[in-house]
Amino acid sequence: MPFKDKLYRIAKRILISEDEAEDAVQEVYVRLWNSRENLKTYRSPEAFAVTITKNYCLDRLKSKQAGNLKIVHSNYEAKESIERNIEAREGVSLVLKIMESLPTQQRIVLQLRDIEQYEFSEIAEMLESNETAIRVALSRARKAVRDEMIKNYNYGVS
């Protein structure tokens, strides 16, 4: 327990989540307890615990269970994240507004492909068309949205 706080800070730095960091520290202590007889062979049990913590956290990040975890970069700033989220929301609302003005076929194809993530073959089947026509309609819809964003909103132009 003497270096619990240090292990927690390391785990939180890697895993971001406080809950995940607490779980990691608990797991490290269980592992240390299970190998308590071998701890005497290490020159620095604290360094050994730090290494175990780091490796455990990195393994958690790599595991399939940890899909929602991210490594924190030292230059991470929450403010930038908030600004990016606001820009993304504004961009999405602009695209949705522009999509309303598209011809029905282009609007449907754009919705099905870029928002709903359907494959071209599935869209062609749904709309009783061929894949080439779907690709052409999608290309025209994307171009129309892009042109409208540049023309009327100066979006993406610095």
Secondary structure of residue 21 in the 3-state scheme: helix
Contact yes or no for 130/122 (Cβ under 8 A): no
3-state helix, strand, coil in the chain (%, to 5): 75, 0, 25
- pLDDT band of residue 76 (cuts 50, 70, 90) is very low
Q: Which two tokens stand for residue 48?
A: 């050994």
Question: What would the two tokens of residue 127 be?
Answer: 């709309």
Our CA angle for 81, 86, 91, nearest 5°, is 125
Which of the pair, 83 or 77, is modelled with greater confidence?
Answer: 83
pLDDT single digits (tens) 92-142:
788 778 888 888 888 888 888 887 787 898 888 888 899 999 999 999 999
- In angstroms, the CA 106 to CA 87 distance is 25
Residue 112 contacts residue 54 (beta carbons within 8 Å):
no
Looking at per-residue confidence, does 109 or 77 come out higher?
109
Which domains, and CATH codes, for the chain?
A: 4-66 (no CATH), 83-153 (1.10.10.10)
Check residue 65 and report its DSSP letter: G
Burial label, 27 (beta-carbon count in 10 A; 0-12, 13-18, 19+): middle
The answer to whether the CB of 120 falls within 8 A of the CB of 69 is no
The pLDDT assigned to 53 comes to 87
Q: At what angle do helices 45-62 and 4-15 cross, to 10 degrees?
A: 20
* pLDDT at position 45: 81
Residue 80: per-residue pLDDT: 61
The predicted pLDDT at position 66 comes to 46
pLDDT single digits (tens) 24-75: 999 999 988 898 888 788 888 888 888 888 888 888 877 745 455 444 443 4
pLDDT confidence of residue 138 = 94
Strands (E) located in the chain: none
Question: pLDDT-derived band of residue 155, with 50, 70 and 90 as boundaries?
Answer: low
